[in-house]
Amino acid sequence: MTLLFTEGFESVVDDTDITRRGWMRASATNLAGAGVLGLPSRTSLSGRGLMLRGPYSSAAGLPNSGTTVADFGMINTKQSVYGLWQLGGFSFGTYATFNKASVLQIAPGDTMQIAYDGAQYYWAICILASGTIGVAYSTDLMSWTVTGATPSGQSINSTIAVAGSGSSATIIVSNKSGSTSSSAYYSTNMGVTWTAMSVTGTSQKTVIPTGISAAPYLAVGYSSAPGFRIFYYSSLSAAPTMVSGVNMTGSGYGSAWCKISNGYFIATATISGGATTLPISGTTSYAFYCPVSADPTVAANWTALPSYPAFINDMVRFKNNWVGVGYGGIYINGSSTSNAWVVGSGVSWSTTTVWSIAANGSMLVAVGQDPVSPALGAIYTSADGLSWTKQNRFILSTPSASNGNGFSNVTWDGQRFVITGATSNNVVATSTDGIAWTPVYYPDHAEATGASASMLALFSGSQSAAGVYTPWGTASGNCVGAGFVAGAISSNSRTITAYTIAGNAALTNSGTTSIALPTGGSANAPASSLTHFYELIATATATPNTFTVQWALDGVILGTIGTLLLAPSTDTGASMLFINLPRTGNWVMIDDLYLTSMAGGNNAGQLGPINVLPWVITGDAQVAMTPSTASTSNAALSGGPLSNSEGYVSSLVTGAQDVYNASVSIPANYSVCAVQAEAYFTKNGIVSAQGKVGVVNNGKEADSSTVTALATGAPTFASVLLENDPNTNTAWTKSGVTSAHIAVTKAN
């Protein structure tokens, strides 16, 4: 592909073409009166990629049609169809990343389904693509690996706990609630094999490591005769022993769990009367606590809290209080057994369900239903456990009341809060303060094919208001356009079909190709291996506003889609060209869009025809920084096909400089006006750092201004535009461009 002319934004390996034009959803976007959690990237720059999930109007089968909701999806290029026809046509291209063939739903069903080993791995209960319950681990919360074996007998209510760290850690999987009969398993080899634990009666719920030699493992067990009791294990292979005298009486069954919070063991059990919403009828929750400094095998060391007439889903010890969450909101109790539970203030809980709670030294974060719109997830924060603020953060989805209503888990890993979404939400997000959240994992899983809404395509029409797209069509006000649809996934490939749509006619299949998926499937493949370059080349015909459209994949033209009338032949500028970014799960990121006009006779300014050609990084000339991916060269990490190329180069040494070879194909009859180098810098540690990008030729260097990277994950842009070769301080020659290099320097 030859880049002939860029319209208003650069086509380099970053996201500025999207962000500068306001095409990417900001984290502060307000939708239907509530804030929307920002959208994650498939790269290491969280939130910088354009993700493709959200509501769309079915009125015309396209996003934003007939709605006043300002949203991503249909993007107005501000270029008229007639103007592009006058210029001889246009070309549109973009990188797009496939949805992963197998999608893991991380910690979606109950609390305590995600745990951190404190050093290396996050472990989580997950739902596999087959719909079965599995176990997965991750070092970064983004790329997840399913264990080689799956412990049997697990359900949507399974929990997970970790003893130790790294590859030698012990992973324990057990159930929290649901059926009266459940099982517990452990693995010491990263889930390659699982061993069943002994249980008492019919159920052993939420087995946890304690670090106490007298009782290395603790659990709550159930049998029909005594009801729920606290048990301990001397080893994972031993039979459990009951702590005699700690009674959680009642008939029936419900939720039971134990955990460690701020120096205390907590054990709870809910005896269900069958109701799961307020007002509760016949349901009682029991809670006991024991200091970790005491022997948990001795009943006298356990103290009962007052019972509560509802499910207690989770609880923490915070500032000398017990704070529990469940059906009916958030409630707090002092350390004395004479105190009653008090419902937290600041939010009208009504029949709201709150699922999970976590604390650091100064802040509480809880997640669950939104009291106003229970179908939406909400995040709550509190500095004292009594007064709560709803942060109005949720992912666009259609949650089910039975699986968590948006968010199911929150945990503090020692440095940040981590939340996970329920089965219809599928988000993993992090925050250091509980207020500003960064999504790091968000796998779309609902895929659709064969509809215009799923087309990565070009359409024509007008925009009557922000976010309102009105299509131009030959009949019934329907769309006219051309684009790509991602088809079904096989074990080793994905199909791509080129389609046209005209008026109210059905989509016309104009060609299909197959793209190989990464070896071994794509469930855990990096985004770069699922990313391809899609291109539509529209050449003007003799008839006004009519174009012959070709389609190309990864720079290879595969055929002609057809001849399309993209606006009435009498239209002299009313119809604009729109880009449709689908949100149906086929692609999960689109990045580095470009739109060019053909080099026609009208494409000339005061200096004559202006052409912008990509100056591409090709290899390392000097390496001083450390690559984040050891198997990938510094040049490849800095100049790949995705934003930040799913990696980065970094250094702790002031003055460290990477120098990269670069190349560009300059036609024989072209002269060089200027060269430009661009870079993003981010802080990769606690202390702010500075960097600059420059051009080096024969030892002479010209750099951009020094920029300061203020926050991890928040990129700072640097650019240098040079009309003169730094080697000669005169106008560029072709040979000068050929011998020049791009340099990236850590300034301090």
> What pLDDT does residue 604 have?
47
Q: Cα 595 vs. chain centroid, distance in angstroms?
A: 27
Tell me if residue 84 falls in helix, strand or coil. Answer: helix
> What pLDDT does residue 100 have?
62
Residues 338 and 240: their CA atoms lie apart, in Å, by 32
**Residue 668: CB partners within 8 Å, gap ≥ 6?**
none
Tokens 């459990």 belong to residue: 240
**What is the tens place of the pLDDT at every residue in 228-258?**
889 999 999 999 999 988 887 655 556 789 9
Answer whether residue 578 shows pLDDT above 80: yes
Asked if residue 599 lies in contact with residue 4, where contact means CB atoms within 8 angstroms, the answer is yes
Tokens 């029991």 belong to residue: 286
> What pLDDT does residue 456 have?
85
**Band of residue 322 on the pLDDT scale cut at 50, 70, 90:** very high
> What pLDDT does residue 201 have?
64
CB-side neighbour CA atoms (13 Å) of 516: 3
**What is the tens place of the pLDDT at every residue in 601-627?**
444 444 555 666 778 899 999 999 999
**Residue 130: CB partners within 8 Å, gap ≥ 6?**
none
**What is the tens place of the pLDDT at every residue in 141-184?**
877 889 999 999 888 889 999 999 999 999 999 988 755 567 89
The whole-number average pLDDT for the span 439-444 is: 64
Answer whether the bond into residue 279 is a cis peptide, omega within 30°. Answer: yes
Residues 62 and 473: their CA atoms lie apart, in Å, by 13
Tell me if residue 663 falls in helix, strand or coil. Answer: strand
Among the ranges given (5-14, 489-498, 554-563), the one the predictor scored with the smallest mean pLDDT: 5-14
Tell me if residue 505 falls in helix, strand or coil. Answer: coil
Residues 583 and 594: their CA atoms lie apart, in Å, by 20
CA-CA-CA-CA torsion sign (119, 124, 129, 133): positive
> What pLDDT does residue 298 have?
96
> What pLDDT does residue 746 have?
95
What is the rounded (10 degree) CA torsion for 311, 137, 438, 414? 70
Residues 100 and 106: their CA atoms lie apart, in Å, by 14
Name beta bridge partners: 76. 578
Answer whether residue 520 shows pLDDT above 60: no
Residues 442 and 425: their CA atoms lie apart, in Å, by 8
> How high does pLDDT run on average in the chain?
79
Answer whether residue 69 shows pLDDT above 60: no
Give residue 46's region: left, alpha or beta (phi > 0; psi -120 to 50).
Answer: beta
**Band of residue 596 on the pLDDT scale cut at 50, 70, 90:** confident
Tell me if residue 45 falls in helix, strand or coil. Answer: coil
- Residue 287 has which token pair? 């809670």
Query: What single letter denotes the amino acid at residue 105?
Result: Q
**Band of residue 54 on the pLDDT scale cut at 50, 70, 90:** very low
Q: Which parts of 528-650 fold into alpha helices (H)?
A: 634-638
Q: What percent of the chain has pLDDT over 70?
A: 72
Asked if residue 106 lies in contact with residue 523, where contact means CB atoms within 8 angstroms, the answer is no
Answer whether residue 441 shows pLDDT above 60: yes
The top-scoring range by mean pLDDT among 193-197, 391-395, 437-441, 462-466 is 193-197
- Residue 412 has which token pair? 């503090």
Tell me if residue 736 falls in helix, strand or coil. Answer: helix
- Residue 602 has which token pair? 């009208």
**Band of residue 4 on the pLDDT scale cut at 50, 70, 90:** very low
**What is the tens place of the pLDDT at every residue in 415-434?**
999 999 877 677 888 999 99
Asked if residue 248 lies in contact with residue 228, where contact means CB atoms within 8 angstroms, the answer is yes
Answer whether residue 337 shows pLDDT above 80: no
Residues 573 and 497: their CA atoms lie apart, in Å, by 31
Please state whether beta strands 456-465 and 480-489 pair in parallel, antiparallel, or not at all (unpaired).
antiparallel
Tell me if residue 637 falls in helix, strand or coil. Answer: helix
N-term to C-term CA, the chain: 39
- Residue 220 has which token pair? 């709550």
> What pLDDT does residue 444 have?
46
> What pLDDT does residue 694 have?
97
DSSP string, 120-173: S-EEEEEE-TTS-EEEEEESSSSS-EE-SS--TT--TTEEEEEES-GGG-EEEE
> What pLDDT does residue 403 have?
40
Exposed e or buried b per residue across 661-685, where buried means at least 16 C-beta atoms within 10 angstroms of its C-beta: bbeeeeeeeeebeebebbbbbbbbe
pTM of the entire predicted model: 0.69
> What pLDDT does residue 645 have?
45
Question: Taking Cα atoms as reference points, which of 624, 704, 622, 619 lies closest to residue 659?
Answer: 622
Among the ranges given (32-36, 122-126, 504-508), the one the predictor scored with the smallest mean pLDDT: 32-36
> What pLDDT does residue 162 have?
98
Asked if residue 498 lies in contact with residue 484, where contact means CB atoms within 8 angstroms, the answer is yes
Tell me if residue 91 falls in helix, strand or coil. Answer: strand
CB-side neighbour CA atoms (13 Å) of 269: 25
- Residue 615 is given by DSSP the state -
Query: What single letter denotes the amino acid at residue 616?
Result: V
Residues 420 and 411: their CA atoms lie apart, in Å, by 9
